[in-house]
Amino acid sequence: MITDFSEELLKEIGDFIGIEEISFNQDGFCILQLQDQFAFILRHDQETERFIMIAEFATLKKISSNLFSSILSFHFLRIAQPRPWIALDQETGVLFLAEEFYLQATTKENFKERLVQFFEEYMNCQGLFNAETVEDLLGKESLSLLQSQELA
């Protein structure tokens, strides 16, 4: 059974992205295609009472392993913080941004703030993934934002 609070959080996402009718299926999933660019997967994990958001990055050019390693290293310090993280589906090679919320420890206000951060992080990472080389990456304005967030 989907909890009322998880439905409220899903409605917050619908309001944020401009979709009025949004709901989970019987298995606790809601999958959206946004602007024909990326898939946005929302899940209510009933066993652990977690609300999970996963956004697939728009089609990426081939990223060199050196560049990919550099991008991941910029996110390394965030592991211990409640922030989105980058995930890789090794079978398909698709990159995702993921975030989870434990329903018992989440408020609507906290969720709204983190929802905004999630989409800002998505846009920043998408820009980083469009870099051609590590040198290009080091010149990106969004990189300084990522570094300042890590040090905060």
Taking only the tens place, the pLDDT of each residue in 20-75 is 889 999 999 999 887 666 688 999 999 999 999 999 886 665 666 766 676 666 65
Tell me the per-residue pLDDT of 73-116, one tens digit each, with 9 for 90 and over.
665 555 555 678 887 777 877 788 999 999 999 999 999 999 99
Q: The tokens 């906290």 sit on which residue?
A: 110
Residue numbers of the domain that contains 68? 4-151
- The CATH number linked to 129 is 3.30.1460.10
**Residue, of 3 and 120, whose pLDDT is higher:** 120
Rounded to whole angstroms, how far apart are CA atoms 9 and 52?
Answer: 11
Three-class secondary structure of residue 19 per DSSP: coil
Number of domains in the chain: 1
Provide the b/e sequence for 44-82 (b: ≥16 CB within 10 Å).
beeeebbbbbbbbbbeeeebeeebbebbeebbeebeeee
pLDDT exceeds 50 at position 14: yes
